Amino acid sequence: MKKRVWASLLTLGLATQGCLGQSPLEELKKKAEAALGQPKPGGDGLSDDRLNLGLKEALRISTGKAVASTGRLDGFLKNEAIKILLPPKLQSAGRTMRLLGMGARVDELEVGMNRAAEQATPQAKQIFLDALTRMTFSDARAILTGGDTAATGYFKRQSTQPLADAFTPIVRQAMLKVGVVRQYDAVLQNPTFSRFSSMQNFDLDAYVVGKTLDGLFYELGQEEKRIRKDPAAQTTELLREVFGGRQ
């Protein structure tokens, strides 16, 4: 199919030479590229350098906002979209405890887990910036032309393990400090939880770290969508140049 389109364009160019003068080869090539859907070197009129600068600016802003919104008091606890709840296997028993008037103990455990997450997420800022330094032109174009959360996907691929490594000791220390481990053990000792003896070996640290990552990437995805679609979020000329025509 591509060969037929190219041949047709070439024939058209040769046929009109007598009336219009010789058609420049480069102009004919551009027409063929457009017909074949091939990408042009500067796509959308943006140079690679300009595109890369614009995306990095957008990602510095979006990651900064995501870290700031989660890494503060109640950043997790009061955000229903990312609040860390009891591990799924314990949620049914937790509801029973609330019905029996022991909701305060469940609340203490959930508050402690969310406080640990809030203390860990500020460490993400530098890790995200490090990921930006590794971004290639190819990465930038894939992000620009990808889905609403293509940049968030890039950061997940580049940063999940470094973030988990950085978060784990902070989460552990935070949970010890606010008594999460003690509260967790007390909850498990309640008769309501007796059938969950397997949870005695449950890695609560890993659970909280995983939910912290989920919450952080969720907020990053929300920030990315705003920058892509909301003109009010495109706060600089460079952001408007890169994203302004893509709503």
The per-residue pLDDT of the chain, averaged, comes to 77
92 within 8 A of 98, measured Cβ to Cβ: no
Residue 190 has a pLDDT of: 66
Query: Helix crossing, 137-145 with 48-70: angle to 10°?
Result: 70
What does the pLDDT average to over 134-147?
87
| Structure-token match 């910036």, residue found | 129
Structure tokens at 140: 């930038």
Tell me what pLDDT residue 50 has.
76
- Indicate whether 117 pLDDT > 90: yes
Distance of CA 181 to the CA centre of its chain: 30
- Provide the whole-model pTM: 0.72
* CA pair distance 183, 178, nearest whole angstrom: 9
Q: Give exposure, 189-215, as e/b (b: 16+ Cβ within 10 Å).
A: ebebbeebeebeeeebbebbbebbbeb
The percentage of the chain sitting over the pLDDT mark of 70, rounded to a whole number, equals: 69
pLDDT digits 0-9 by tens, 142-160: 888 888 899 999 999 999 9
End-to-end CA distance of the chain: 32
Residues 6+ apart with CB under 8 A from 47: none
- List the domain boundaries for the chain: 1-38, 47-243
Contacts of 235 (CB under 8 A, 6+ apart): 61
